[in-house]
Amino acid sequence: MKKWLFLMSASATLVACGTEATETAESINQANDLIEVTINVAVDGETIEDGSITSNVEEDAVLFDVMEASFDVEDEDGFITAINGYEQDEDANKYWLFDLNGEMAPVGAQDLELSDGDVVDFNLEELE
């Protein structure tokens, strides 16, 4: 009976440790799939309240999805029209534009897959 009890407790211990090790390995693998991106949001060049975030997101995350998860975003046909209550104004010719790593983005937010270390700068500014 003592052998049986010893075997059962040893098995339970091994199972518990094995699960923890597996979960830890999975957590490390999942963490390795995350990338760090920084998103800055400004109106006429001035950062707005809660306008900058550095976030860990999944590799190949799409900018539009990250924006929706991180800010209060409104859009029209996939084009961002408002961020945190700051709306573009067609009459004043002010629109949300964004740069990727200091250069004009090559595609729209819905098509931009983010890479590790990307810096995205959104600015509500007047077009000339």
Specify the 3-state DSSP secondary structure of 109: coil
Sign of CA dihedral 26, 29, 33, 38: positive
Give yes or no for residue 25 having a pLDDT over 50.
no
6: three-class secondary structure by DSSP: helix
Alpha helices, H only, 33-62: none
Same domain, 18 and 50: no
Whether residues 105 and 87 share a domain: the answer is: yes
Q: In terms of domains, do 13 and 49 share one?
A: no
Structural domain boundaries enclosing 4: 1-32
- Do 53 and 112 sit in the same domain of this protein? yes
Count of structural domains within the chain: 2
Q: Quick: pLDDT tens for 55-104.
A: 899 988 999 999 999 999 999 988 999 999 999 999 999 999 999 999 99
24 pLDDT band (50/70/90 cuts)? low
Place of tokens 């999942």: 30
Rounded Cα–Cα distance for residues 61 and 114 (Å): 6
pLDDT at 115: 95
In this predicted model, what pLDDT tens digit does every residue of 36-69 receive, in sequence order? 999 999 999 899 977 788 889 998 899 999 999 9
